Amino acid sequence: MSSFSSTNVSSSSSTSVSDNESKINLLLSTSSSDLPSRPQAEDFTKELTCPLCLEWFKEPVILPCGHNFCRPCIEEIRGRAEVCLCPECQAQSPDRQYIGNIVLEKLVEKIKGFHVGKCQQKCSKHGEPLKLFWKMDGKLACFLCRDAQKPEDQSSQFLLLPDAVQLYAEKLISTRTQLEATVQELKTLKNAQQEKISCHKENKFHLQHHISLEFLKLHQFLHGREKRLMNELQEEGKILLQEMEANLNKLQEKWQRAKETVLRIQSRLYQHSSIDFLTVRNLDLNINTDVLCVLHSLEQKAGTLSLGALVCRELSLGQFKGPIQYNAWKEMKSILGPGNEILLHYLLQPI
């Protein structure tokens, strides 16, 4: 019977303690932002307090029914009672049939250390709980810190923690509201700016395309105008050159005839015999001709060898060297749109 009770006690103890240990380990491994709320923490802490003295378990022991108590508390009750009953469930159990709950004792020590480290921060100067907020320094303070200040500063510079939380929470909420409005305005401006940038890029692309097309028209027009002007220059230059070359051929022929006549006269002057000088043998007629006839013939030839005229033909400088650009600009009117008439009028103004 004793062995069975001890086994039950041990089994119940292990189950209860295992559950508590799981809860505690979960609590200790939780980050500060994920900690349970205060009511949850208080309910959990209540499970680690003795139902008799309402304090943390001290030397906890577990009864066969599974309930835990402080060893001093349960021994004091059983010392005064005739029947050993569980203070919680009134279950009857043999005298002193309980064992120490070492696991629960360790858990209590853990949770007590956790509360001291996490929930009961104390003033480093006075060792008192930090229950006030010092507005001037923006730090937590204790009542002794407040009492050490001037009387006029004690009420104005120090706030209870709940009041400080409410005060600064309201300020933060107000600031957040303003910032949310600012965020919305900035978002609207950002979207508008992005739209403007997109429109700007699209407009820039269209303008680049427009400029390329317009200058392509100008290039084609100017190239055609240049080609036409070059053809006109070639045609006019060819005609004038033919006239001057024809005149050159005539002059060449006259020059040759005059040169031959001069040679004949020169040969006559070189005759040493008077008879030979005064008579000339006409080889064509095989007869002798006197010098008078020869002289008369030479005079007739000299009359036909007039100098003629120098043919001088000049290219049209007004057409080919004049205001070519100006004339081209005037012709541009055929390709300029209505929007460019003002530009054309400006370009046609005399400088």
Answer for the pair 141, 164: CB distance below 8 angstroms, yes or no: no
- What pLDDT score does 117 carry? 47
Q: Share the mean pLDDT of the chain.
A: 75
Beta pairing partners, 279: 290
- What pLDDT score does 351 carry? 47
Q: Which residues contact 64 (CB under 8 A, 6 or more apart)?
A: 5, 8, 9, 12, 91, 93, 97, 98
The pair of three-digit structure tokens given for residue 3, joined into one six-digit string = 């062995």
> Residue 305, exposed/middle/buried by CB under 10 A (0-12, 13-18, 19+)?
middle
Among 139-153, 234-248, 314-328, the range with the most confident prediction by mean pLDDT is 234-248
For residue range 207-255, list pLDDT tens digits in order.
Answer: 999 999 988 988 888 888 889 889 988 988 888 899 889 988 988 888 8
DSSP one-letter string for 189-239: HHHHHHHHHHHHHHHHHHHHHHHHHHHHHHHHHHHHHHHHHHHHHHHHHHH
Q: How confident is the model at residue 195 (pLDDT cuts 50, 70, 90)?
A: very high
The Cα 258–Cα 251 span in angstroms is 10
Residue 341 reports pLDDT greater than 90: no
- What pLDDT score does 301 carry? 66
Answer for the pair 289, 264: CB distance below 8 angstroms, yes or no: no
For residue range 66-125, list pLDDT tens digits in order.
Answer: 889 999 998 888 877 777 788 888 887 776 677 888 888 888 887 776 544 455 578 888
Domain spanning 2-120 has what CATH number? 3.30.40.10
Beta pairing partners, 56: 49
The Cα 348–Cα 351 span in angstroms is 9
For residue range 5-57, list pLDDT tens digits in order.
Answer: 444 444 444 444 455 455 445 544 444 444 444 455 555 667 788 888 888 88
Choice among 152-161, 220-229, 305-314 with the minimum mean pLDDT: 305-314
The pair of three-digit structure tokens given for residue 110, joined into one six-digit string = 């853990």
Choice among 8-17, 195-204, 269-278 with the minimum mean pLDDT: 8-17
Residue 206 reports pLDDT greater than 90: yes
- What pLDDT score does 6 carry? 42
The domain limits of the chain are 2-120, 321-351
